[in-house]
């Protein structure tokens, strides 16, 4: 399937990391993300997987602009 669709080969660890990052980027709450990943605490999940991404940066800017627009009244 990987060769047929010209996809990048990804290890199980890489897949887990990607899954965790996508959950964070799509605003899955840390408690449920931690449970899904089998972590004992949401802080462990955040410490391990939350870091700046292009998607995350764009979302942060958009949310901030939306907030400023709504504050204008």
Contact 27, 56 (CB under 8 A): no
Domain boundaries, the chain: 12-71
Q: What is the C-alpha separation between 6 and 40, in angstroms, rounded?
A: 37
pTM (two decimals): 0.69
- 21: its two tokens: 């990052």
Q: What is the C-alpha separation between 11 and 34, in angstroms, rounded?
A: 20
For the stretch 24-67, pLDDT in tens is 888 899 999 999 999 999 999 999 988 878 888 898 899 999 99
């Amino acid at each position: 399937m990987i060769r047929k669709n010209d996809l990048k080969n990804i290890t199980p660890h890489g897949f887990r990391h990607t899954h965790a990052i996508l959950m964070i980027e799509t605003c899955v709450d840390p408690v449920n993300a931690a449970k899904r990943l089998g972590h004992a605490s949401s802080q462990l999940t955040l410490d391990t997987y939350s870091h700046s991404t292009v998607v995350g940066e764009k979302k942060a800017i958009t949310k901030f602009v939306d907030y400023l627009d709504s504050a204008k009244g």
